[in-house]
């Protein structure tokens, strides 16, 4: 017989701790033989359609110190704005693009890096088009719940100005915290957990 629901208590939350890399990126943690390569380490191959780009940055705590034990995951649409997901009903996504990546920050520098493509436009539920963007999820020691944010592109100013999510941000001066800056084929996107220039995070 099941116990009354009022006797079931929520388990205390735990931070990701230093052990998240052992389970999620064992090769990075020097644990061989679990996977040939860590899941999410590669998003593209030689047949992937779209403009190849690199995304890199650091994750800073409230003191301005880069986190060196964080784990970052990204999720994005392909070149045509389609997601590699069973829930995608608008068409077939590029089979040579995973749409999802996972990378640890470097243990010495704190830099994370992704090799991916620039995503296409995707529709908002009301039909308006969202500017090209990439969703980020961050965990690290001291973070009880994974943090969700987005990176938009500095070379999409017109689309960004009409994006239905960015338009909902009350303090528009903070939109800049969601913009990845382009230099050549590299977009730099630093994430600030607290303090001056704190990145906007989404409650999803």
pLDDT digits (tens, 9 = 90+) for 82-132: 999 999 999 999 999 999 999 999 999 999 999 999 999 999 999 999 999
Give the pLDDT confidence score for residue 105 in this predicted structure: 96
pLDDT at 196: 87
> CA–CA distance from 178 to each of 2, 12, 108, 142 (Å)?
46, 31, 25, 22
Q: State the pTM of this model.
A: 0.90
Residue 13 has pLDDT above 80, yes or no: no
In the chain, what are the domain boundaries?
14-192
Summarised one tens digit per residue, pLDDT across range 132-172 is 999 999 998 878 789 999 999 999 999 999 999 999 999 99
- Predicted confidence (pLDDT) at residue 4 exceeds the cutoff of 70: no
**Check whether domain 14-192 has CATH 3.30.200.20, yes or no:** no
Give the whole-number percent of the chain exceeding pLDDT 70.
94
HSE, CB side, 13 Å, CA atoms: give it for residue 131. Answer: 21
Taking the C-alpha atoms of residue 179 and residue 63, their distance in angstroms, rounded to an integer, is 21
Distance CA 93, CA 80 (A): 8
């Amino acid at each position: 017989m099941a116990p009354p629901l009022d006797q079931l208590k929520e388990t205390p939350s735990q931070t990701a701790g230093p052990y998240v890399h052992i389970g999620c990126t064992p090769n990075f943690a020097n644990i061989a033989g679990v996977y040939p390569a860590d899941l999410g380490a590669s998003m593209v191959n030689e047949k992937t359609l779209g403009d190849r780009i690199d995304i890199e940055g650091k994750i800073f705590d409230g003191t301005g110190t880069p986190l060196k034990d964080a784990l970052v995951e990204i999720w994005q649409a392909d070149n045509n704005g389609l997601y590699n997901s069973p829930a995608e009903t608008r068409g077939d996504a590029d089979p040579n693009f995973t749409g999802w990546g996972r990378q640890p920050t470097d243990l010495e520098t704190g830099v994370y890096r992704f090799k991916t493509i620039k995503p296409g436009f995707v529709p908002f539920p009301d039909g308006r088009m969202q500017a090209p963007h990439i969703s980020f999820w961050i965990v690290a020691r001291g973070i009880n719940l994974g943090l969700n944010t987005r990176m938009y592109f500095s070379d999409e100013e017109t689309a960004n100005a009409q994006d239905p999510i960015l338009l909902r941000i009350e303090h528009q001066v903070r939109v800049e915290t969601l913009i990845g800056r382009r230099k050549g084929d590299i977009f730099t996107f630093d994430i600030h957990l607290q303090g001056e220039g704190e990145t906007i995070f989404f409650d999803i």
